């Protein structure tokens, strides 16, 4: 029996509205209940836009032009704003790279967190305890004082914890995390990763984690989508992608990263050139100009994702094939 996915993104296309420029094309992936899925890509690859579109939070001037986003079977793209607002926060919550985008700088934290409950569930006698319990779960040392403090009085790591508490407040089924640890120091990043990982397992919550750092997701998620120039070029289990990458981009990226320990200092194999803009790719593979396995077909045709077992690859000449 197959599991009904919690979220299915089907053939998603995102583009600027005026002077149409394709930003995301043909993106399909799913998240099962309780599963953690990662999206890895460089700046401009479309990873953040794909995530923002799930919650209807695309920036002005950018819109979804094709596809479906099914959450529990409901297409989020056709919901009325009021219906989507009920899902946002209640069922799908999001955390960002910069917590100050999510926190109100002139409102005390206690009030701010209670407001989240008030606007969705309604306040009752238990609300205050709920907020305090969560703040202490995410590792805020002095909860009483924190409730009376403003966001700027905390360090970056503490603000990130507070934002996580806010996201967990309504027990969402899906947490979307857009590079929440990128701006943090590594030891603090480690603390936050451990915190999110524990909180997720405790609640059996699903998660979509967006990052440019392959090292961060290696031990955090079950499956991974690799994005390049607006498309998913490869997807599969973490094990498959890291051990047996099939797309030349994934393989190139992995071999261009130095390891943080060991004695091997052989010259890094680099990928020449720069990432292509999605709207300039046209009728070809977006990676063709930088690819070491490129052939003439790659310049004249778009490789579509081909699924095999639990993984997909969008390449005419994937690694491991003849």
Q: Whose Cβ is closer to other proteins: residue 103's or residue 214's? A: 214
Count of residues making up the chain: 322
Minimum distance from residue 33 beta carbon to other proteins (Å): 18
Minimum distance from residue 183 beta carbon to other proteins (Å): 9
Q: Whose Cβ is closer to other proteins: residue 60's or residue 267's? A: 267
Contacts of 286 (CB under 8 A, 6+ apart): 228, 229, 230, 231, 233, 276, 278
Minimum distance from residue 237 beta carbon to other proteins (Å): 8
Minimum distance from residue 140 beta carbon to other proteins (Å): 12
Is there a contact between 208 and 39 (Cβ–Cβ < 8 Å)?
Answer: yes
Residues in the site for other proteins, rule: CB under 8 A?
Answer: 42-43, 155, 157-158, 185-191, 193-194, 197, 212-216, 218-220, 238-239, 242-243, 249, 252-254, 256-263, 265, 267-272, 274-275, 290
Here the contacts of 182-187 (C-beta below 8 Å, separation 24 or greater) are: 182/97, 182/211, 182/212, 182/213, 183/97, 183/98, 183/156, 184/156, 184/157, 184/160, 185/157
Q: Whose Cβ is closer to other proteins: residue 106's or residue 268's? A: 268
**Which among 36, 35, 61 has a CA at the least distance from the CA of 49?**
61
Q: Whose Cβ is closer to other proteins: residue 78's or residue 190's? A: 190
Minimum distance from residue 126 beta carbon to other proteins (Å): 30
Going by their DSSP bridges, the two strands 231-237 and 223-228 should be labelled as antiparallel
Show the tokens assigned to 89. 């926060």
Q: Whose Cβ is closer to other proteins: residue 8's or residue 189's? A: 189
């Amino acid at each position: 029996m197959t599991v009904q996915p919690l979220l299915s993104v089907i053939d998603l296309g995102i583009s600027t509205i005026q002077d149409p420029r394709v930003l995301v094309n043909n993106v399909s992936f799913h998240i099962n209940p309780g599963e953690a899925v990662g999206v890895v890509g460089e700046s401009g690859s479309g990873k953040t836009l794909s995530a923002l579109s799930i919650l209807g939070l695309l920036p002005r001037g950018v819109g979804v032009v094709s596809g479906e986003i099914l959450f529990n079977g409901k297409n989020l793209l056709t919901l009325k704003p009021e219906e989507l607002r009920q899902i946002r926060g209640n069922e799908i919550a999001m955390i960002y790279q910069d917590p100050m985008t999510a926190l109100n700088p002139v409102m005390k934290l206690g009030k701010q967190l209670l407001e989240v409950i008030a606007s969705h569930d309604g306040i009752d006698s238990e609300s205050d305890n709920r907020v305090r319990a969560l703040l202490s779960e995410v590792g805020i040392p002095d909860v009483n004082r924190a409730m009376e403090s403003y966001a700027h009085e905390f360090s970056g790591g503490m603000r990130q914890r507070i934002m996580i508490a806010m996201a967990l407040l309504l027990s969402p089924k899906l947490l979307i995390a857009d590079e929440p640890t990128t701006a943090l120091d590594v030891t603090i990043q480690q603390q936050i990763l451990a915190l999110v990982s524990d909180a997720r397992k405790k609640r059996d919550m699903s998660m979509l984690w967006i990052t440019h750092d392959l090292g961060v997701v290696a031990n955090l998620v079950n499956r991974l989508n690799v994005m390049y120039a607006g498309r998913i070029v490869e997807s599969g289990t973490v094990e498959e992608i890291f051990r047996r990458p099939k797309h030349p981009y994934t393989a190139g990226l992995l071999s261009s990263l130095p390891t943080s320990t060991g004695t091997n200092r052989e010259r890094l194999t680099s990928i020449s050139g720069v990432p292509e803009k999605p709207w300039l790719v046209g009728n070809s593979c977006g990676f063709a100009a930088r690819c070491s396995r490129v052939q003439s077909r790659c310049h004249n045709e778009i490789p579509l994702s081909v699924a095999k077992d639990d993984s997909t690859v969008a390449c005419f000449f994937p690694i491991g094939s003849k």
